Chains A and B, each alone.
Chain A
Amino acid sequence: MALPIALGTGYVLARTNISGKNVLDGIMTSVLAIPGIMMGIGYLIGFDYPLPFINESLSRVWLIMPLVLTARRLPYMTRTTHASFLQLEKSLEEAAFVSGASKLRTFFNITLPLILKGVFAGMLLFLVMAIQEISATIFLYRPGWETLPIGIYLQWNRGTEFGVPAAAAFILIIFTLILLIIFSKTGQRVLGGAFAAV
């Protein structure tokens, strides 16, 4: 879900000259300043009215979880994607135009393959942050849709057993570690410019 949004904003920010793109950039990034608790409660109350067709409020279905995670951690992905777009020499795309390729064709043949690494790195970073998230999701989870951190918290809170949350936490750490290793391998080229490019 985050992927097309990040690609879209990255392209708009780096390649077009639309007025107000700085505002868009600002809004996208300022999400980082909002505490998770606020977002969690905000989503819970804000979406607590029945939607048309499904006759169920959004805050009561599992879909609210990926939604809030995407909104909350999107800047990590838009930043790295934006940086990849900026790093991509414009002339690489222009060379395709003058070879006879349309804008759309150029995007799929040239732009996308060349920024894929950066986008992938951003996606991993996004995943790392999302998977550990608890402050926003704790308000929104539905039974049966607990994420790992919520599971750990619930187990510990019940106070029944300490072994299960400990094991779950260990799994979480290992999983995150693997993601981070992949990230540092693929992201080396992009990471440097990711946040400096503001």
Chain B
Amino acid sequence: MSMRQEFVKLVKVVKTFKKVTAVAGVSLSVNKGELVTLLGPSGCGKTTTLRLIAGLEIPDSGEIYIDDLLVSAPEKGIFVPPHKRGIGMVFQNYAVWPHMTVFDNIAYGLKIQRLSKDEISRRVKEVLELIGLSGLEDRYPTQLSGGQQQRVALARALITRPQLLLLDEPLSNLDAKLRERMRFEIRSLVKNLGLTAIYVTHDQAEALVISDRIVVMNHGKIEQIGKPEEVYKNPANRFVADFIGVANFIPVTVKKIAENFQGIVVTEDGSVIRCTVSSRLKENNKAYLLIRPEDIVLYKDSPPGENTLQVKVVHRVYLGNINYYWLNYNDLEFRVQTSPDFEANEGERIFAFLKPDKAIALPE
């Protein structure tokens, strides 16, 4: 086995379906033992990227390496078919085989390897225990719940002891509670087995919980790669900020950029706001000021000074532990999260203080 860190590598991979470019030159490295998610809206190319790695799609151009082995390189005429890539994969719709029992579903990969019957049943038993399905060997998939079926699919992907596990929105068909629990289970499973895993999802909360690193994709391109807190706190652009978490944007003009990307921006009505300025912006550029709902403090009657905007309460929702406000500022809607003690009525004029260390000016 390779001693290098890099386990999966994509170099300028392109894939077009008829006239639609699904993956537009994606380059990406996934390290050994790392759990990386591909996150983005539907149609952003995340699933196609995963299928290219699996060998279920053939790229138009570019190169894909798994464990230092070149598996896809159309320009060199190289294509290793999926059954020779030594991977495990879990599909969104489970894809457990309805005409086989749980045991046969899971054992399939081992039967192909022509292992002895004893060895097969020993290993199936082992993985059933690992996945929490012991005792259901003889059931047919139709007799199982969605959650159990997905566990069978997971067991089937793990039975051949692959080095690389690919997961294509594995939890999106499950109900919310089960989904939340399975996130942790999948993560600890991957970590305990020391697997390298690539996980596709459109659910940003899922990506934040499960990933070592998140790859945010849009229109077949990578917008940003980073640890969950990096992508959340320091998004590369407006798309990433909007896609991960709740974001308010205020159109501004950059007035001054000082050391460490600290700067001053001015809103359309002339309010001055101190914030961090993206490295991709220059003075006098138009930009969007990102401020998250939890980074705004509301005051009923503080004198407006720096970083303070006058706003009108449009709507309030009481959520028990928090109050959630919809505010109107210059016909912009914005959302603020406060303690349950702060109470303001609909239609009331109040003041919003934007925390200077949390606000970020971003390029479009």
Point out residues on A near B: beta carbons under 8 Å: 89, 91-92, 94-102, 105, 109-110, 113-114
Q: Is the CB of B93 within 8 A of A102?
A: no
Show 24 A/B contacts (Cβ-Cβ < 8 Å), sorted by A. Answer: A89-B95, A91-B91, A91-B92, A91-B93, A94-B54, A94-B56, A94-B89, A95-B97, A95-B153, A96-B97, A96-B108, A97-B56, A97-B81, A97-B82, A98-B157, A99-B83, A99-B108, A99-B109, A100-B84, A100-B109, A100-B160, A102-B81, A109-B108, A114-B98
Residues of B within 8 A of A114 (CB): 97-99
Residues of B within 8 A of A101 (CB): 83, 108, 112
Contact with A along B60-97 (1 / 0, CB 8 A): 00000000000000000000011111011101110111
Q: Is the CB of A105 within 8 A of B87?
A: no
12 A-B pairs besides A92-B97, A99-B112 with CB distance below 8 A are: A89-B93, A91-B91, A94-B82, A94-B89, A98-B54, A98-B87, A98-B89, A99-B83, A99-B108, A100-B160, A101-B83, A114-B97
Total contacting residues, chain B, CB less than 8 A: 28
Min CB distance B338 to A, Å, is: 46
Known contacts A89-B93, A89-B95, A110-B97; A97/B156 CB under 8 A: no
The A interface is mostly helix, strand or loop, or mixed, namely helix
Known contacts A94-B82, A95-B89, A95-B156; A100/B112 CB under 8 A: yes
Most-contacted residue by chain B among A94, A101, A113 (CB, 10 A): A94
Residues of B within 8 A of A95 (CB): 89, 91, 95-97, 153, 156
Which residues of chain B in 145-163 are interfacial with respect to chain A, using CB atoms and an 8 Å cutoff? 153, 156-157, 160
Which residues of chain B in 121-161 are interfacial with respect to chain A, using CB atoms and an 8 Å cutoff? 153, 156-157, 160
Min CB distance B98 to A, Å, is: 7
Residues of A within 8 A of B108 (CB): 96, 99, 101, 109
How far apart are the CA atoms of A100 and B97 in the complex, in Å? Answer: 15
Q: Is the CB of A98 within 8 A of B98?
A: no
Q: Is the CB of B112 within 8 A of A98?
A: no
Point out residues on B near A: beta carbons under 8 Å: 54-56, 81-85, 87-89, 91-93, 95-99, 108-109, 112-113, 153, 156-157, 160, 166
How far apart are the CA atoms of A109 and B108 in the complex, in Å? Answer: 10
How far apart are the CA atoms of A110 and B96 in the complex, in Å? Answer: 10
Q: Is the CB of B95 within 8 A of A94?
A: yes
Which B residue's beta carbon lies closest to that of A97?
A: B82
Q: Is the CB of B99 within 8 A of A113?
A: yes
Q: Is the CB of A99 within 8 A of B156?
A: yes
How far apart are the CA atoms of A105 and B83 in the complex, in Å? Answer: 11
Residues of A within 8 A of B85 (CB): 98
Min CB distance A101 to B, Å, is: 6
Kindly list the 8 A-B residue pairs having the minimum CB-CB distance in the complex, ordered from nearest.
A91-B95, A99-B109, A97-B82, A98-B89, A95-B95, A91-B91, A100-B112, A100-B83
How far apart are the CA atoms of A114 and B83 in the complex, in Å? Answer: 21
Q: Is the CB of B97 within 8 A of A98?
A: no
Min CB distance B54 to A, Å, is: 6
Residues of B within 8 A of A110 (CB): 97
Which A residue's beta carbon lies closest to that of B106?
A: A99
